[in-house]
Every structure is written in C-alpha cells, then in structure tokens.
Amino acid sequence: MNAVANSAELREAYNECVPLLTAYSTELGQNGALQAGYAYVLKHEGASLDPAQRKVIDNALRDFRLAGVDLGPADKARYCEVAQRLAQLATKFSENVLDAGRAYTRSVTDGAELAGLPANAVDRAAADAREANQPGWLFKLDQPTYMTVMASAESRQLRRDIYEAWVTRASELAERRAIRQQSAHRRHPARCAMSLPAWWVSTISPTMHWPRAWPRAASRC
C-alpha cells in the first residue's frame, strides 16, 4: 500500500512501523527455542519428510543462521542495531525512488508513438496531459505505465525513454549514493559477526546452494 498509495500521512505511519517490524523479525530470527524446534523435527523426522517438507525445514534453519541465532549476546545486540539502521536506509532509499518516479513525465505529441498501447493506457495519458494543461499525452513513471509501455509500445524511442528513466530513478541524488555507501558499511559488521565471507552472502543465500559449513572469515573483518 505504501508503494502504490503513498501519501505524507501513510509515509509517516509506515516509518513509525518500520522499527517495530524490524525488531519483531530480528527477534523471531534469533529465537533459539524456535530454531531448536525446527532442528528437532529435522533430526527425528527428517528421513520421513518429502522433498518439499525437507526444503521448508532446511530453509528455516538457514534463515535462523543468517539472522544471527548462533551469535553471543553482544553480537546479537549489535546485529539488531545494524538491522534497524539498514531498515531505515532501505525505507529512505525507496522513498527517494518513489519521489523521483513521481517527478518524471514523458510527453507525447505524435500519435504514431502510441502504436501498440492499449486504449486504457492511452486514455489515462490523455487525461494526465489535460490535467497538466499540456497537449497530447503525458506518461508518468509508475509501475503500471512502465510495464504497459515496455510490453506493448511499438515505438522504440518511447520504450527507451521510459526504460532509462525507470532504471535511473533518483540516481542524480547525492543522498542515494550516500545511502548505498552506508548500507554497505552497515552490512560489514553484521557479516563479520557471523563470520560470513562477504555481506552479499546473506543476500543471495536464499537463492543459492551453499555448503552447511560456512567459511570462517573473522580474519577478514
């Protein structure tokens, strides 16, 4: 809802909830008793589980590991601090991208550029142009418009303009670069606490196959 119906009031409420949701998810991921329950099922019933059930258990145990369940009290507290800051940075980053998308428009005055687009998209662009007191059609940079143009527009130039605008949203903001740098910096102590070889391991692990024994990388931190 925050991404598609964003307003000042909703954004404020969302930002108030981010620390609570982050604290909940971190606490859940570091819950040793819950992890022990999954481990018990794997140990005592693993052989009788079908592949899908076994995958659910394996993924859950992996996620506990990535959430720092095996860390000591001090490292767990540090992990929670880093998780909170990363959540704040991610939220701010998303807001910058959303605001940049809202600020962009692509004007069309030649009807030939509209070839291939569905009638509802053309009508919406015409209405947006009238609202902005501009001639022709006006395309905004929201996801429905982006998907429609990329999938249906026959105009290569229109597709290119919308695509380039989409993938470079907020790239002109110095704040965006600062947020990316801070995010990388914050991930470093988190991965060191868990002795992961790099911060990106915890990011791509859910989609990759990794050995059960993580490489020890404390000396790299």
pLDDT tens by residue, 157-172: 999 999 999 988 877 6
Helical packing angle, 73-103 and 8-29, nearest 10°: 150
Least confident of 12-16, 73-77, 190-194: 190-194
pLDDT at 206: 57
Task: For 110-138, write each residue's pLDDT tens digit.
Answer: 999 999 999 999 999 999 999 999 999 99
Q: Whole-prediction pTM value?
A: 0.64
Length of the chain: 221
3-state secondary structure of 139: strand
